[in-house]
Amino acid sequence: MVQTSRQLFLQHQAQTSDFPLLLEIERAEGVYMYGPDGRRYLDLISGIGVSNVGHRHPRVLEAIRNQLDKYLHLMVYGELVQVIPAELAHALVETLPPPLESVYFTNSGAEAIEGALKIAKRHTGRTELISCLNAYHGSTHGALSITGSESFKNSYRPLLPDVRHLRHNDFSDLALITERTAAVIIETVQGEAGVRIPGPYYLPALRRRCREVGALLILDEIQCGYGRTGSFWAFEQFGIEPDILVCAKGMGGGMPIGAFISSTEIMSGLKTDPILGHCTTFGGHPVSCAAALATLRVIQDENLVAGVAAKAARFRAQLQHPAIRAVRGCGLLMAVEFESFQVLKLIIDHALAHEGILTDWFLFCDNSLRLAPPLIITDEQIDEACAALLRAISEVIN
Ligand code: PLP
């Protein structure tokens, strides 16, 4: 008997929860995904912050096709000169203040976090790493070690030693950063904590404290970077600059790629004692780099960042309902808070099943609805999304 894709998925693809979405998607375009029955879904989460330029942007597809006609993988990271990765590194550096001029490409966000932690330890000669409670930095051992949720980590101990956590936005905890600290890593805007935006003075104070004690500041912009918050890099809005910047997700326009970026001086630690301080076979894959370069150019040429604030305001103006307790947000990274997970889950399920609207909650904030649509979403599509969400809320609440 021929098994359905759903049966194969459930039987042979390792499951990570007992409640996967189980939505079958056949194709995707722009802000929409389509099921095998032709049913259309409006994607309000962008594959968790990935499809900032929408699904299958024509320029991204064209760049991928061009690269497919030249070569795929040639060699492990860092040996051969390849045009597109070199141009991508240059294009990224052009978006950044000096001395952030040296880019290391990885396969994923978590791998970029690993690289960032390693060069911070290498450069400072220190071992202590500090991150924030409720921070999410990835699922590999190092990234998990600095993730700020005990329940996520406990079953996988022992993890990295010498890790401490700050309460986010708490000035008194900055005293925990000392001459022992190699690096403080923080999401410029916390994502999985349910979109937590630092107060206006917090990140500058954190930056100052790091300088005082000689600790490096690593900004994780894997979720909040690449235009999502209304500036190309979220840190541009907070009056600080990192020593090391980490990005991934939206960077590849739907292809897997990440990067950690720092000064040539800090990055030079990867070259000696030992050589090959961070190795990766596929990091900076030319097809991913081609997609990433096109994505960057689309964001720039289509002025996507400039449109973010007005689009976010349009969502906020319409998302008014007695059941909505708060709307937090920084640009198009938004969280809509309800009374409880039970209520939220009913709304999410109803919106998907009856309205064709795809949303989600957050890893460490399960009473809030995740809204992170592609930045290309139009006013009409925002209106369509809000009307459908409000209908779903009213259905569930009554
Ligand atoms: N850091 C942040 C802020 C993230 O949101 C994520 C993924 O959700 C990661 C790191 C890990 O990235 P990846 O899933 O590509 O390993």
pLDDT tens, residue by residue, 139-149: 999 999 999 99
Query: Per residue in 103-137, pLDDT tens?
Result: 999 999 999 999 999 999 999 999 999 999 999 99
Distance in Å, CA 92 to ligand 1 centroid:
19
82 lines ligand 1 (CB under 6 A): no
Q: Is 191 in the pocket of ligand 1 (CB under 6 A)?
A: yes
CB of residue 134 inside a 6 A radius of ligand 1 = no
Integer angstrom CA distances of residue 301 from 59, 297, 306 = 11, 6, 11
Q: How far is the CA of 222 from the centre of ligand 1 (A)?
A: 6
| Residue-level pLDDT at 340 | 97
242 in ligand 1 pocket by Cβ < 6 Å? Answer: no
Q: How far apart (Å, rounded) are the C-alpha atoms in residues 372 and 364?
A: 16
Residues 189-234 have pLDDT tens digits of: 999 999 999 999 999 999 999 999 999 999 999 999 999 999 999 9
pLDDT of 276 reads 96
Q: How many helices (H) and strands (E) are present in the chain, helices listed first?
A: 13, 15
At 398, the pLDDT band (50, 70, 90 cuts) reads confident
Mean pLDDT of the chain: 97
- 142 ligand 1 Cβ < 6 A: no
Nearest alpha-carbon partner for 343 in 322, 314, 328? 322
Length of the chain: 398
CA-based end-to-end distance of the chain: 44
* Domains in the chain: ranges and CATH: 5-53+303-397 (3.90.1150.10), 59-301 (3.40.640.10)
Question: 244, 266 in Cβ contact below 8 A?
Answer: yes
Cβ–ligand 1 contact at 181 (below 6 Å): no
Per-residue b or e along 302-319, where b marks 16 or more CB atoms closer than 10 Å to that residue's CB: eebbebbeebbebbeeeb
Q: Torsion angle, CA of 290/97/191/305, rounded to 10 degrees?
A: -70
